[in-house]
Amino acid sequence: MPPAYLALGSNLGDRRQTLAAAVRRLRAEPGLQVVATSAFYETAPVDCPPGSPPFLNAALGLHTDRSPEDLLRLLLRIERQFGRVRTEPNAPRTLDLDLLLYGEAVVRTPELVLPHPRMHERDFVLVPLAEIAPHAVHPVLGKTVQELLEPLLARFTDPAVPRPRLAVEKRQAVPDLAGLRALVTGSTSGIGAAIAHEFEARGAVVVRHGRRARADRAGSTGCFLAADLTDPAQVDRLADEAWAMLGGLDVLVCNAGADTLTGPAANWSFDEKLEVLLAVDLKATMRLARSLGRRMKERGSGCVLTVGWDQAETGMEGDSGELFAAVKGAVMCFTRSLARSLAPEVRVNCLAPGWVRTAWGEAAGPVWQERVRRETPLGVWGLPEDVAAAAAWLASPAAGFITGQTLRINGGAVA
């Protein structure tokens, strides 16, 4: 897939939130992979109606299996979803998505011109683009992005010429988990890492867990414990050490799952995959949730979250479907029973992700990308952040009347 580059802009409403949401929307699109994102830059409006507010601008690099024309149609559709209304030229807008470069393609049609006809004249395009792709070549002018930017930089020696500046202000998440202590298993990457990050952003103190200690964690101030969840003794040790490390736990997220889809495990036999899935996804979840859940109940409060699978009840063909349906279906049933055992002091709920773009999803081929489009009513991948947002809500006081439930994070798939 050839590299393509987009320019993003917004000067209406909450510009930062809009651009961040647009990046997430593009990351979720099947058959499209965002590989680079620039910082956000605040820039003065150019050739806009008088009184137009300043823009936030950014650039994205991506790989896609879509043609340039199909990619343009997607960008226009996303603009409309974000409330873009086209009136007079260069009018203020909620979201602007421009296709700048698509490999070495040169296109001249009434609908699309590639490369973008004015990109080489616009510092608000070239500054963020040079951050992520300084060596990308303009196929008509034969110059790199950095070479195109150099003449424009000379203008900034004049104080009267506004220069794009980094928009560095940070948004604070709502601290609705402030003071809570959480253990998130399997939180070195993917969904678990997203949950741990979201919990921390909302004020919780988190113990992260991985199968083995990592050299890059030497000297880290974060809380981390290593344990191989195929070993019941290490599961018990993890529970004891996490409880002692924080002086008790308020939230347990049993996210850890055996990866039997990628790496060497993808070539294991059915029986080998079943054994490790039973050990990690089911038995370790049950052992941790029962042990720590009972301690929470004795103390008088707590929350346990397990992770199931949205297709465990509806079914999916093939070895992987049979394996995950059996194991994750058992987790979902266990969750309902544990919720009754630990009520009313401890709430227990299950997250059931659908097509979520983890490492496997990033590498999935065109057949799977199309299957996501076909089977998900929203037509896109879920992201780890989507599951993390649901987990944070279930762990918060806002979900205080919710227990024994399975929450499907799957873009509306119901059958």
Least confident of 83-87, 216-220, 253-257, 313-317: 216-220
Q: Do residues 96 and 118 make contact, with C-beta atoms less than 8 angstroms apart?
A: no
Say how many Å lie between the first and final Cα of the chain, rounded: 33
Q: Which of 73, 84, 211, 373 is catalytic?
A: 84
Structure tokens at 1: 């897939």
Please, what is the Cα angle at 171 between 165 and 172, to 5 degrees? 150
CATH class of 3-166: alpha beta
Average pLDDT for residues 159-173, to the nearest whole number? 66
Least confident of 159-173, 272-286, 358-372: 159-173
Q: Is 84 designated active site?
A: yes
Which pLDDT score is estimated for 44? 87
Please tell us whether the domain made up of 181-409 is placed in CATH 3.40.920.10: no
Least confident of 44-48, 68-72, 174-178, 262-266: 44-48
CA distances from 133 to 112, 113, 122, 127 (A): 22, 20, 16, 10
Q: Is 231 designated active site?
A: no
> What digits encode the pLDDT tens for the residues 254-306?
999 999 988 899 999 999 999 999 999 999 999 999 999 999 999 999 999 99
Taking all residues of the chain, what is their mean pLDDT, rounded to a whole number? 92
Q: Is 181 designated active site?
A: no
Sequence-separated (6 or more) residues with CB below 8 Å from residue 10: 18, 19, 22, 55, 56, 93, 94, 95, 96
> What digits encode the pLDDT tens for the residues 223-233?
999 999 999 99
Does the N-terminal peptide bond of residue 366 adopt cis geometry, omega within 30 degrees of 0? no
> How far is Cα 403 from Cα 302, in angstroms, rounded to an integer?
11
Q: Which of 27, 66, 93, 208 is catalytic?
A: 93
pTM equals: 0.86
Structure tokens at 220: 């880290």
Q: Do residues 407 and 351 make contact, with C-beta atoms less than 8 angstroms apart?
A: yes
Residue ranges covered by each domain of the chain: 3-166, 181-409
Q: Which of 65, 98, 176, 236 is catalytic?
A: 98
Average pLDDT for residues 321-344, to the nearest whole number? 97
Q: Is 250 designated active site?
A: no
Q: Which of 96, 259, 310, 386 is catalytic?
A: 96
Which pLDDT score is estimated for 219? 41
> How far is Cα 225 from Cα 241, in angstroms, rounded to an integer?
8
> How far is Cα 130 from Cα 83, in angstroms, rounded to an integer?
28
> How far is Cα 5 from Cα 3, in angstroms, rounded to an integer?
7
At 172, is the pLDDT very low, low, confident or very high (cuts 50, 70, 90)?
Answer: low
Which pLDDT score is estimated for 221? 47
